[in-house]
Amino acid sequence: MITEALRNFLKEDIGPFDLTAPVGRGKRSKAKLICRSGAILCGIDFFEQIFKLLDKNADIKRFFKDGDYIEKSQTAAILDADAAAILSGERTALNLISRLSGIATLTREFVDLIAQYKTVLLDTRKTTPGMRIFEKYATGIGGASNHRLGLYDCAMIKDNHIKVAGSITAAIKKIKPKIPFTAKIEIEVKNIDEFREAVKGGADIVLLDHFEIADIERAVKQRKRDVKLEVSGNVDKNSIRALAATGVDYISTGFITHHAVWSDFALKIV
């Protein structure tokens, strides 16, 4: 899956051929991967794989691994490969490592803000189409845990499901007999009454969506021991610590993927 995606990324940029490739054909070159902004490195394996798809003899000397913090102007790695492969794969490789490092860096900032609490930071399905596996890898490198990868690994009943089913209880009754016994049922609720209904109906996880702090604290006090609580909505650097202080198990946010600014990397021939 990863290799296929990387091939498609290259195909998107190179197309049938690279018009500038003759400049480097038949030559061997080295290039430095330089971090031009402080960042949590993420995607160095993918970076290497991209060049190996273009040159099976490509070699990379790494000075950092995924999850390490790189200071501005430091060299992350040195690539040794066919010069044409370096020139053709440069932009694709830089785009990917810059995007993933940006996500990992922002995620680490969020994780550090709640480090004193037991609450776990989760990502969401708010990912770029075709990039989910990479972006969720990046949040993991940043210190978050992955929420469901898709519609197939957790039965999450949201507001539209509830409207279609008629109620939280009806939705649970329709879905529970149809899923593997190993799968969890998570219910998104808007208020305390819905929270109580979800717990009574047999939810494994209850997502408190856009709850005020006082109502989150009420839910924490009223929950059953075997029911996990997750909060989401309006999660940012200013609110996350107060949310974690309520004692919830999880905080989920798409902010760490859709608001992440790319880290700045360059690839320079030496």
Q: Quote the number of domains for the chain.
A: 2
- pLDDT means per 10 residues, the chain with 270 residues, are 96 93 89 97 98 97 98 98 96 98 98 98 96 98 96 94 96 94 95 96 96 97 92 96 97 97 97
Q: Structural domain of residue 72, as residue ranges? A: 2-105+261-269
My answer on whether 58 and 174 are in the same domain is no
**Same domain, residue pair 79 and 9:** yes
Residue 132, H or E segment: helix 132-142
What CATH number is attached to the domain comprising 254? 3.20.20.70
Pair (74, 6) in one structural domain: yes
- The DSSP annotation for 18-65 comes to -TTGGGTTT-EEEEEEEESS-EE---HHHHHHHHHHH-TT-EEEES--
pTM above 0.75, yes or no: yes
Do 101 and 120 fall within a single domain?
A: no
The amino acid sitting at 210 is H
Report pLDDT for 34: 98
Residues 51, 96: one domain? yes
Q: H or E stretch including 258?
A: helix 255-258
Longest dimension (CA), the chain: 70
72: annotated active-site residue:
no
Is there a single domain that holds both residue 21 and residue 154? no
Question: What pLDDT, on a 0 to 100 scale, did the predictor assign at position 245?
Answer: 98
Q: Which of 30, 32, 52, 126 is catalytic?
A: 126
The pLDDT of residue 26 is 84
Q: Among 28, 61, 29, which Cα is nearest to 44's?
A: 61
**What element of type H or E holds 207?**
strand 205-209
**What pLDDT does 225 receive?**
84
Number of Cβ within a 10 Å radius of residue 230: 20
pLDDT of residue 25: 83
CA 104 to chain centre: 8
Pair (153, 68) in one structural domain? no
